[in-house]
């Protein structure tokens, strides 16, 4: 379905042969039908979609646009709408696919707008997006000139949402692999830019995550890190006793000063905070494309500055740094 040869060649050129050797087996294992009950249905839908139907694509607008409504007839449009809905929930976006507007849970374009003017140009760079979900930001990275974008994402539904959009778009130097960061070989040192957005607080060992990210970067390459933080000074952090905003797998929420000290201890250079922003209800919300609970249900209804557990409401920081 997807030709991975250009990816393999780009990684070989970046002297990441040891990863190329194991990717086919990683793909085979991830797509085994017994690993996910919905995989067979989703894969059948993708297999039956015509590829490259889009007459145009716009990767530089808030809504990633692939195709126009006039590219397909009304019967195909109705079928595509039902097929897209079967991939519920759509969390990252938004997308406009052949005139079908997928209003996702997250307005991921807001995050992109916060960082795009404060990072190194992605033009002609080999880029890695860790925990990329369905690849929304990967498309935006490609739109600003990245030579190739590689996303890694362990949740199969997200990977298949990406494969669907890529099939509709047609061939492009963009890939999302169904693996986690821990499955990338150590000391790869292959990527010009590495993004880790919304991942660090899910890791039991944030230091190990930072070191693994550094291993992916070439010398002097740039890390763009986005994560939950708290207000406070050096050494301060929050370790929730139980859930945080109803999430079970949230571990360390550091202050910005504490996070920078972690990054410097890991060897990163020129660490700087480029944005701190409280998550608003308009940025993360339930929609017809994500009908489950969202931020509104995760906060104290009487005090939106607190989570439903009484902890500080989500605040996110973006930090940029360079590998030594």
Predicted TM-score (pTM) of this structure:
0.97
Which residues, 6+ apart, have CB-to-CB distance to 95 below 8 Å? Answer: 63, 64, 65, 66, 101, 102, 104, 136, 165
CA distances from 120 to 22, 114, 259, 299 (A): 30, 14, 21, 35
CA distance linking residue 298 with residue 301, whole number of Å = 9
b/e 281-303 (16+ beta carbons within 10 angstroms → b) = eebbbebebbeeebbeebbeeee
Tens of pLDDT, residue by residue, the chain (324 residues): 689 999 999 999 999 999 999 999 999 999 887 777 667 888 888 888 877 788 999 999 999 999 999 999 999 999 999 999 999 999 999 999 999 999 999 999 999 999 999 999 999 999 999 999 999 999 999 999 999 999 999 999 999 999 999 999 999 999 999 999 999 999 999 999 999 999 999 999 999 999 999 999 999 999 999 999 999 999 999 999 999 999 999 999 999 999 999 999 999 999 999 999 999 999 999 999 999 999 999 999 999 999 999 999 999 999 999 999
Best CA proximity match to 276, nearest among 210, 232, 213: 232
Which residues, 6+ apart, have CB-to-CB distance to 226 below 8 Å? Answer: 111, 115, 195, 196, 197, 198, 316, 317, 318, 319
- Residue 2: the pLDDT is 87
**Which token pair is 94?**
């938004």
Three-state secondary structure call for residue 204: coil
CA distance linking residue 280 with residue 284, whole number of Å = 7
- CATH code: domain 5-322 is 3.40.50.150
- Residue 146: the pLDDT is 98
- Residue 31: the pLDDT is 87
The CA-CA-CA angle for residues 309, 315, 316, to 5°, reads 135
The answer to whether the beta carbons of residues 129 and 150 sit under 8 Å apart is: yes
CA distance linking residue 108 with residue 137, whole number of Å = 8
Could you tell me the residue ranges of all domains in the chain?
5-322
């Amino acid at each position: 379905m997807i030709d991975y040869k250009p990816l393999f060649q780009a990684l070989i050129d970046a002297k990441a042969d040891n990863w190329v050797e194991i990717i086919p087996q990683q793909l085979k294992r991830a797509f085994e039908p017994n690993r996910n009950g919905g995989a067979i249905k989703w894969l059948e839908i993708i297999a039956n979609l015509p590829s490259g139907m889009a007459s145009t694509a716009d990767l530089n607008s808030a809504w990633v646009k692939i195709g126009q409504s006039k590219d397909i007839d009304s019967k195909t449009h109705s079928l595509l709408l039902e097929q897209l809905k079967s991939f519920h929930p759509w969390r990252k976006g938004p997308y406009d696919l052949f005139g079908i507007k997928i209003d996702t849970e997250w307005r991921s374009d807001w995050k992109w707008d916060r960082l795009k003017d404060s990072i190194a140009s992605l033009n002609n760079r080999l880029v890695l997006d860790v925990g990329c979900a369905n690849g929304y930001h990967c498309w935006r990275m490609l739109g600003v000139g990245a030579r190739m974008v590689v996303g890694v994402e362990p949740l199969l539904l997200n990977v298949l949402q990406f494969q669907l959009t890529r099939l509709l778009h047609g061939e492009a130097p963009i890939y999302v692999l169904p693996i986690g960061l821990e499955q990338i070989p150590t000391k790869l040192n292959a990527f010009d830019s590495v993004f880790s957005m919304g991942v660090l607080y899910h890791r039991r060992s944030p230091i190990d995550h930072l070191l693994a990210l550094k291993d992916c970067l070439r010398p002097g390459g740039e890390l763009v890190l986005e994560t939950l933080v708290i207000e406070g000074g050096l050494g301060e952090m929050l370790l929730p006793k139980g859930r945080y905003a109803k999430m079970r797998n949230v571990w360390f929420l550091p202050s910005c000063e504490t996070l920078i000290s972690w990054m410097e201890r890991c060897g990163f250079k020129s660490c700087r905070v480029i944005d701190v922003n409280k998550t608003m209800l308009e940025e993360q919300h339930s929609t017809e494309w994500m009908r489950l609970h969202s931020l509104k249900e995760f906060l104290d209804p009487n005090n939106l500055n607190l989570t439903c557990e009484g902890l500080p409401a989500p605040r996110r920081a973006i930090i940029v740094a360079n590998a030594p």
